[in-house]
Structure 1
Amino acid sequence: GTVGFGYFATALFWQAALERSSALLWTVAVGWCIILIFAKWRVFIELLRHVLRRGDMLFRNTFGPSAIEDIVARAEAEDNKLPISAFLDELLDRQDVIAEVNSEEKRLLAFLCRPSVMEALVDMCIAENNTPSGDSDLDSKRKFKFPFVASEILASENGRISDAIVRSRGLAVKLFSFFQLQNPEAVDSLRASYVTKIVSALLRCKNIEVLHHLVHNESFIPSLLVHVAEEPVADLVLRVLDSADTGRFFSSEVGQPRKESVDLLVNANVLSELAKMFVKSAENTEQGEGFRENTLTNTSKLVLNLSLRVLQLKRVLMEIPSELSVFEKPEEFIGVMIDAGIKDYAAQGNGRSVALMASLDVAAELLTTEVNRVEHDPSLGSSSINSVIAMVSRMSRQKIFGTEGNESETNGELTVMKNRSALESTALLEQCLRKRIDELVKILTEDRSQDSFSNSCEKVTDPFGITKFRIAEFVLACTKSGNRETVAVLLERKIPEVFLQIFFSREWNNILLNTVTTAIIYSFEAGSNDARKAWLNAGIIPKIMRAWSESEEVSGQKKRPGHMGHVVLLCTTLEKLFLQLGAESESLVDKQERDQFMKFCEESVAKEIERQNFRYSGLDERESEGDTPPMNTF
């Protein structure tokens, strides 16, 4: 009827428009046609959606009951003498059972919401059925397929099923006490993932009811922290802050959590306990290697993600509790984690420490950008210093370290929120980090020639190692994102000299060269004059020219050093800086040294860029004589 009326009104509009040739009527007629087409498609889509959702009812009414209905009918028969588990196994073996649950088939839901059936589904998810049935195929399904299907049903966010769980104290206690009865090193990872999936879904669709259970279960959060080696469990701690209007399942979008959620984490001293667990795992070498590494990695990631999530409380007009702020008490959280990592590095003796790498990753992520720098004022209280002062975009690990990265929510590591819209001052955090710079630089510059090895190309006499690379990333991140006090300490420790030595002595370590080159370029393009002067005083110009000269000496032997591409980038950056500053550059470097470098760029670097451009353009230099060289794309 609506569509028919629309057609009739459209005909009237077009007739009036044709008779009067009015621009207004023409506009109204065209607009009405667009509205009609849109409305027609909306009606069609809604009708199609309704037919697809309720098509099973038409099928059953026409061709008889479905297989699932038949199973439910046999289970509900008065003369049935079989146990309910027999029908449940048959039901869970059906491929369309989850689709039937999502379509809210009433008879099926009524059967599933029986107390005995709900208890059986929960038991499948939390405990493995080891009772042999004599059928190996059925035993395999009871071990893997049926528990998975049961967890999907319980986590389907169906209103009746979720109500049946949260309104039954026995079922809720079974789910929420699952981790209290498990040995952390022997927990079933599969069962743990099922339980966390169900609880996360309940937190989203039955937020108030679930929080009511958790408030009266003081051991729930502590039991989760004990099992933080399991990544789904670590994520569940973060999901406690989910609100009922979270954008989607396992979403990083921020909604306003309830005060009870925040109080749960505050009362459990989550950050403090995580820091203690990190230190304990770093010191405990008797743990299994895999379990130990998972604990250290997931603990540090949870500290980071929880800190970023808590920062969002200001956005929804909620105060940040001091117990959940790493910026207010950095020594108690970040400081002890880095100290534990440094001790672990010394204890390992092999140049590799997961604890040190994980703690430095967290510290680097929590550094802020230029927009959010404030100087520490002793006259201000910690609450004033640690107030939200800027609205800045998310700063991923790739951006901190100066490499282009994937902006997706996951990159093989734990999720970091995209909407990092509010940050606190890092004055106290950076003060904590500055105390540990000396020890980190000592590790960075130590000689590990005793760990030399041979590969297919040559003998590596002093391997750099992944841990030292992470330290290099962290120190360079401090030079880029730290406040003036932090940068001053780094320059005082002669960090530019350290990294130039690393740069020119490890010519084939491309990843390390990329990181150092990016930090140097940032200092010259966006850094302070003090930072620029520090790199120049460290002798970057003579070292570049010396490396170039050495490259020309061996170029005839087809052994061009691997860092020469990075050297060219540094040359073009310095040349651009001197041209921009003009005479002002004399405050940074001696005029004679600058003129000598500019001449070197004009005579040597420009020719190398031109040669590379011809090579990359697919032209031979001899064939392109007389042609205009292409633009500098090196």
Structure 2
Amino acid sequence: MFWKLTALSASSPVESVLDKENFTLEELLDEEEIIQECKALNSRLINFLRDREQVEKLLRYIVEEAPADAESKQAFKFPFVACEIFTCEIDVILKTLVEEEELMNLLFSFLEPNRPHSALLAGYFSKVVVCLMLRKTVPLMNYVQNHPDVFRRLVDLIGITSIMEVLVRLVGADDHAYPNFMDVMQWLADSNLLEMIVDKLSPLCPPEVHANAAETLCAITRNAPSALATKLASPSFVARIFGHALEDSRSKSSLVHSLSVCISLLDPKRSAIASPLMYSFRSQHMYESLNPVNPETIGAMLPKLCDLLMLLNVSSDEKVLETTYGELRPPLGKHRLKIVEFIAVLLRTSNEAAEQELVSSGTIKRILDLFFEYPYNNALHHHVESIIFSCLESKSDTMVDHLLRECDLMGKVLQTDKSPLLSGESDKPTLPASGKQAPRAGNLGHITRISNKLVQLGSTNSRIHACLQENTEWSEWQVNVLQERNAVENVYRWACGRPTALQDRTKDSDDDDLHDRDYDVAALANNLSQAFRYKIYGNEDAEEDHGALDRDDEGGKFQNTIMLSC
């Protein structure tokens, strides 16, 4: 009987407008249910909206700024509704748009340089073009190929994120293949599109342009193999990217984002813009071998390593950053952190020429020093750990000898563990706060992992084993300190404060993820805090006896300063 209820059979307000003898598009756009009616494929409404005149009006709301004295509806509501109508993906409306070149010209007139480009309308423009890309791919790409100035204008506005997203779609970096995809990619590779995008990494451009240009180039590398990706990985383009990175040492943004592109060329699966901290606890997967990289690409990067090494020098930097634990004189900075990340990814390619260059230039030694000079920069520690693992697992004996003998890795580890409190030496970049007890170094967890890796590889690698056996102090420390620390920090053996979920969990889909990590980070943090709260180690002196046991307590204080130290 419900179909007899008048409330449910009432006609839509949109139908009331359509029933009028003379109604306007604006009257329809003002109705709240118009989008719902479009999605419901209301034939009367769609037949009205598919008309060329109405499509043109809808486009003008999207690409033209409303007059300064316009009502709120005209400036905000109508452009939003017009965009939503197009993105309902109604075929007859989109067909009217793509089959009329004047309407397409009107749509892309938004990119003209002599008009305003508000973020609001840029978002609407982007949504409409992406919709056409998905539903009317061939006619859209035919239009773009016949109007090459579209790409030039898109690149000129690449600092607007919505425009960058359109560009990424058009260069085929969204894994959206269409009938003439390969022909279009080859056409783009033959054009000067890549040159225009790479030149946006110039220090003369603002940071937002650097960021979006780098994201576009990284998207192209992730779409390999393609004609564009192959061209970008060529030595001439690599040299061009490094040229912009090192053109002006004062432009840290240009350096950071140029190196992001180089990192993506070496490892396309790596996110270009993501924070390094997202990798902090993905211990095992981070050291998997990369896909083979063209040696010519790596060879074009090697001549610039000495210039990058000079930028790792902090002695001439007079910046000071106050932190909760003291001062950084100077802070490490994003640009130095990005250089270290680049070196870490470069080493993971196992390229012999790159390894030799890094050894001869002293880059590895300098980076290892940074590890101990900045004991609270977890992102730095992560990348240096990756560098150390790559050196130890290298097929080259030179890399192992350089790390263990010339860089004295074991000596630095023993010295830090022997004196874990932050040094107050004025020539060090990290200084403790005056009048307070010096805190414990924050990199002891990474030192423990590195030490365990040394022991593990020493059992299978005779060269590493020989180096470990030569150092009697290391052998004693391994037995008396490292083994005991590993037993204490093994959360799977704890009888107190351990979550039931870890103790009694059954096999499920999360088991693989659990075993892919050295430990469960959340569980470790929670249990360490409970362990010290209830003093399960018996007395206050136990904390000192166990070396690094209280670093989680200190870590709680420093958690909010990790990014500051960058």
Question: Map of 1:496-535 to 2, 5 A cutoff?
Answer: 496-525=364-393, 528-535=396-403
What is aligned with 1:470?
Answer: 338
Q: Given the alignment, which residue of 220, 224, 231 partners 1:325?
A: 231
After TM superposition, give the deviation of residue 158 of structure 1 in Å.
Answer: 0.9
Q: 1:525 to 1:622 in 2, by over 3 A?
A: farther
After TM superposition, give the deviation of residue 108 of structure 1 in Å.
Answer: 0.3
**Counterpart residue identity of residue 363, structure 1:** C
Tell whether 2:355 aligns with 1:487.
yes
What is aligned with 2:17?
Answer: 71
Conservation of the 8 A alpha-carbon contact between 1:98 and 1:149: yes
Tell whether 2:440 aligns with 1:541.
no
Q: Given the alignment, which residue of 27, 30, 54 partners 1:90?
A: 27
What is aligned with 1:603?
Answer: 480
Q: 1:552 to 1:194 in 2, by over 3 A?
A: closer
* Counterparts of 1:404 and 1:190, CA distance in 2: 34
* Counterparts of 1:525 and 1:101, CA distance in 2: 61
**Counterpart residue identity of residue 88, structure 1:** L
**Counterpart residue identity of residue 154, structure 1:** F
Q: 1:159 to 1:423 in 2, by over 3 A?
A: farther
* Counterparts of 1:484 and 1:150, CA distance in 2: 58
* Counterparts of 1:553 and 1:176, CA distance in 2: 59
What is aligned with 2:159?
Answer: 229
Question: Map of 1:5-154 to 2, 5 A cutoff?
Answer: 63=9, 65-74=11-20, 77=21, 80=22, 87-130=24-67, 132=69, 139-154=71-86
Q: 1:527 to 1:469 in 2, by over 3 A?
A: farther
Q: 1:61 to 1:265 in 2, by over 3 A?
A: farther
Conservation of the 8 A alpha-carbon contact between 1:403 and 1:515: no
* Counterparts of 2:183 and 2:421, CA distance in 1: 69
* Counterparts of 2:228 and 2:271, CA distance in 1: 25
Q: 1:263 to 1:515 in 2, by over 3 A?
A: closer
Conservation of the 8 A alpha-carbon contact between 1:200 and 1:239: yes
* Counterparts of 1:194 and 1:224, CA distance in 2: 15
How many residues are matched? Answer: 484
Q: What's the CA shift string for 1:403-454, capped at 9, x where partnerless?
A: 63899xxxxxxxxxxxxxx977421111111010000001112414422344
Q: 1:154 to 1:188 in 2, by over 3 A?
A: same
* Counterparts of 1:143 and 1:193, CA distance in 2: 14
After TM superposition, give the deviation of residue 570 of structure 1 in Å.
Answer: 1.9
* Counterparts of 2:280 and 2:446, CA distance in 1: 20
**Counterpart residue identity of residue 160, structure 2:** E
Q: Given the alignment, which residue of 204, 207, 210 partners 1:283?
A: 204
After TM superposition, give the deviation of residue 261 of structure 1 in Å.
Answer: 2.7
After TM superposition, give the deviation of residue 343 of structure 1 in Å.
Answer: 2.5
Unaligned stretches of 5+ residues in structure 1: 1-54, 134-138, 243-249, 285-291, 314-319, 369-392, 408-421, 624-632
Please tell me whether Structure 1 or Structure 2 has the larger radius of gyration of its CA atoms: 1
Question: Map of 1:287-302 to 2, 5 A cutoff?
Answer: 292-302=206-216
After TM superposition, give the deviation of residue 590 of structure 1 in Å.
Answer: 6.8
**Counterpart residue identity of residue 264, structure 2:** E
**Counterpart residue identity of residue 31, structure 2:** R
* Counterparts of 1:406 and 1:510, CA distance in 2: 10
Q: Given the alignment, which residue of 306, 317, 325 partners 2:220?
A: 306
**Counterpart residue identity of residue 550, structure 1:** S
* Counterparts of 1:304 and 1:189, CA distance in 2: 23
What is aligned with 2:127?
Answer: 197
Q: Given the alignment, which residue of 615, 622, 634 partners 2:538?
A: 622
* Counterparts of 2:439 and 2:228, CA distance in 1: 59
Q: Given the alignment, which residue of 215, 233, 253 partners 1:354?
A: 253
Q: 1:182 to 1:543 in 2, by over 3 A?
A: same
* Counterparts of 1:165 and 1:534, CA distance in 2: 65
Which range moved further: 95-104 or 359-368? 95-104
* Counterparts of 2:131 and 2:396, CA distance in 1: 49
What is aligned with 1:431?
Answer: 299
Which range moved further: 398-407 or 255-264? 398-407
Q: 1:611 to 1:263 in 2, by over 3 A?
A: closer
After TM superposition, give the deviation of residue 210 of structure 1 in Å.
Answer: 1.9
Conservation of the 8 A alpha-carbon contact between 1:402 and 1:519: no
Tell whether 2:444 aligns with 1:564.
yes
Conservation of the 8 A alpha-carbon contact between 2:350 and 2:394: no
Conservation of the 8 A alpha-carbon contact between 1:224 and 1:234: yes
After TM superposition, give the deviation of residue 225 of structure 1 in Å.
Answer: 1.2
After TM superposition, give the deviation of residue 533 of structure 1 in Å.
Answer: 2.3
**Counterpart residue identity of residue 561, structure 1:** A
Q: Given the alignment, which residue of 166, 170, 188 partners 1:265?
A: 188
* Counterparts of 2:178 and 2:476, CA distance in 1: 59
Unaligned stretches of 5+ residues in structure 2: 283-289, 424-436, 495-526, 540-548, 553-566
After TM superposition, give the deviation of residue 522 of structure 1 in Å.
Answer: 4.1
**Counterpart residue identity of residue 501, structure 1:** D
Higher RCO (C-alpha 8 Å, min separation 6):
2
